[in-house]
Structure 1
Amino acid sequence: MIKRRQFLISSGLALGTLVLAPSLAFASKKRSIGIQLYTLRDSLPKNVKGVLAQVGKAGFTGVETFGYSQTNGFFGTSAKDFQSILKDNGLKATSNHFDFNSYIKDGKTDILNSYIETAHILGSEYVTIPYVIQELRGKSIDDYKKLAAGINKVGEICHSNGLKLAYHNHDFEFIKFENTTGYEVLLNETDKNIVDFELDLYWVVRSGNDPLKLFKDHPGRFKMWHVKDMDKVNLDFNTEIGNGTIDFKSIFAQAKQSGMEHFFLEHESNYIPNPVESIKTSFDYINKNLI
């Protein structure tokens, strides 16, 4: 958790070695299974072309990007070249995690324009706010209302440029303020016509909340999901889908009420097992039991 948050507000990245094996060449004929590329954070920056080729061979058709910068593109690969690699491997960047903190704080449009241009080059449907720094979310209901107003401004600009905006949660949004939470404030104060939510199911459950209640209380708002399981022993750890404590069958059964249109498998920074074997295990479980 800490490593992921630090990454989202800095350019530091721990590089490791990971090569997706040909044994991952399996595919679903039902609802497509997407992958948040942060899952492959150790190998992707070192071998963008090779890793994306293996993602395509694995059967994924949708990806969600991370790590874009104005100066370095996607780990030294320009948006145009990144899109070409995606296309060559039957992949589409449905959504992109971009760092919106500077725009929400200062209103500087150059970074926002860069994100919009990049999303158009990739042919994306969504741009997504992945993480909001403490300074912006504050410590009160009013602070979250102010944040919601900033998110609405981003949503208006994205909408006017033919893109959809989504907000991705962690656990801190569920901290109680009087009789509500920051997340409830965001849901109620953002314009449902221009702001969607990418529900990270792990963080909802980890915070002690129920995704099904959110679906019931706010039907149709959760157009995208992050699907990652919670380890049975150490709740701060992820595990392969189906091996942990989260009841995904009940959650997927209410996908329509949620409004879910896309979901992305993700193994986050506190994930320990071998990524190659773990991705295959998670994909197989989702493919067989959830879609």
Structure 2
Amino acid sequence: MKNRRGFLKQAGLGLSVAFLSPYLFSCQDDKSRSSPFHNLGLQLYSIRDLLNEDPIKTISTVAKIGYKHVETFGVDDVAGTYWKLPIAELKKVLDDNNLKTHSGHYDLSKYLNKNLTEHENIEKYIEIAHQLGQSYIVAPITPMDDLNNLKTEDYQYAAEQLNKFGEMAKKAGIKVGYHNHFWEFRRFANGTRGLDILIAFTEPDLVDFELDLFWTEKAGLNPQSYFDKYPGRFPMWHIKDMDKQHINSVIGEGYDDADFEDIMKEIKYTEVGTGAIDFIRIADYADKSGLKYAFVEQDDIYMPNKFESIKKSYDYVKKHLTK
């Protein structure tokens, strides 16, 4: 499993029906608000197949639904493109649709791997993020070549690398972030968890964290415990919901040494507000976490119309989490 894009199933659906849907033109909120939930973002990975088909119309539709900013993923740093769009053209498309991008996911799996000396071009990442006006370069995943044998020293090394990258990015006014999945919550013999090691060994002025609420709960924990333990370290959230028939934790005995594909059979997502996660309760901790940017994300969408799915999540957040 080489990267995040590789371990989640791809689904391909046409755009034509979606673009004709009348709901797209009646969902703008004209009120000027400042909270992260009012100014809601979308992690574009949620609609990756649509972006590959037609990135310009897809981004335009995201804006029509009401999203105020997007989180990027999957840059081709050699070609300087996203979904075959040159960086400058992507920036223009975002500007034309009054969308900002505060954060992007950039593959750092080689850079964070203590067994490799060949790394991604992090200088190029800084340049791209600067072109797009992003404040954060986020590492979306740990090295995935041997997840079941990650050790404390692997997380310590990753933390050191994040600090070094943070020092470089700081010169460009950009901060480095880290996004979790479930395996960072596995316990080591001394009771510590990988995510706690990353937080403890990174400098707060250089590295922030993007807490994925779904993966935290799927590990059998509640996000509030991390906001209490590390106030101010989580300025970004991924708001992602859990299917009510798939609520069992995937860490601990029987899972920590299981095959990744077997674990993924226990994973199913759903639109925000229709699943098992109590986002209203979690939202009370926004200030304590230091929340700046909230992103809807759904790794796999099962509805035929993916725009209808991301609108359903958007509507829930706007109705129930804004104050």
TM-score, structure 1 as length reference: 0.91
Question: 5 Å matches for 1:4-19?
Answer: 5-7=4-6, 15-18=12-15, 19=18
Alpha-carbon distance in structure 1 between the residues aligned to 2:270 and 2:10 = 22
Name the structure 2 match of 1:90.
98
Q: Deviations over 1:240-262 (max 9, x none)?
A: 11111101001111100011100
Pairing of 1:129-148 with structure 2 (within 5 A): 129-135=139-145, 139-148=150-159
In the alignment, the residues of structure 1 paired with residue 231 and residue 318 of structure 2 have an alpha-carbon distance, to the nearest angstrom, of: 25
Distance of 2:93 and 2:87 partners within structure 1: 10
Q: Residue 104 of structure 1 corresponds to which residue in structure 2?
A: 112
Larger CA deviation: 150-159 vs 259-268: 150-159
Q: Residues of 1 paired with 2:281 and 2:98: CA distance?
A: 31
Is residue 191 of structure 1 aligned with residue 221 of structure 2?
A: no
| Greater share of helix | 1
Letter in 2 for 1:27: Q
8 Å CA contact 1:136–1:147 kept in 2: the answer is no
Contact 1:36 1:65 in 2 (8 A): yes
Instruction: Please give the per-residue CA displacement for 1:258-278, whole angstroms capped at 9, x wherever unaligned.
Output: 111001001113x31232222
| Residues 4 and 268, structure 1, Cα contact 8 Å, conserved in 2 | no
Q: Is 1:23 aligned to residue 31 of structure 2?
A: no
Which residue of the partner structure matches residue 149 of structure 1?
Answer: 160
Aligned length: 287
SS in 2 for 1:54: helix
Q: Distance in 2 between matches of 1:261 and 1:136?
A: 33
**Contact 1:136 1:143 (C-alpha < 8 Å) held by counterparts:** no
Which of 76, 93, 110 is the matching residue for 2:84?
Answer: 76
Q: How far apart in 1 are the matches of 2:146 and 2:197? A: 14
Q: Distance in 1 between matches of 2:133 and 2:142?
A: 25
| Counterparts of residues 116-265 of structure 1 (less than 5 Å) | 116-135=126-145, 139-178=150-189, 179-235=191-247, 236-265=267-296
Q: Considering only aligned residues, what root-mean-square deviation do their CA atoms show, in Å?
A: 2.2
Please state whether the residue corresponding to 1:101 is helix, strand or coil.
coil
Q: Which has more radius of gyration?
A: 2
Identity %: 37
Deviates more, 1:194-203 or 1:23-32: 23-32
1:53 to 2:65 alignment: no
Instruction: Report if the CA contact (8 A) 1:33-1:61 is conserved.
Output: yes
After TM superposition, give the deviation of residue 110 of structure 1 in Å.
6.7
The answer as to whether partners of 1:164 and 1:195 remain within 8 angstroms in 2 is: yes
2:259 aligns with none
| Other-structure match for 2:302 | 272
- Cα deviations by residue, 1:227-247 (Å, 9 ceiling, x for unpaired): 011010134111111111101
Q: What do the CA deviations read for 1:55-108 (whole angstroms, capped 9, x no partner)?
A: 111111110001111234101111111000000000111111110123334566
Change (3 A) 1:253 1:3: farther
Name structure 2 gaps, 5 residues minimum: 248-266
Following superposition, the deviation at residue 175 of structure 1 comes to: 0.6
- The runs of 4+ residues in structure 1 deviating greater than 6 Å are none
Are the aligned partners of 1:15 and 1:45 in contact in 2 as well (CA < 8 Å)? no
Match for 1:39 among 46, 59, 75? Answer: 46
Separation in 1, partners of 2:169, 2:275: 37
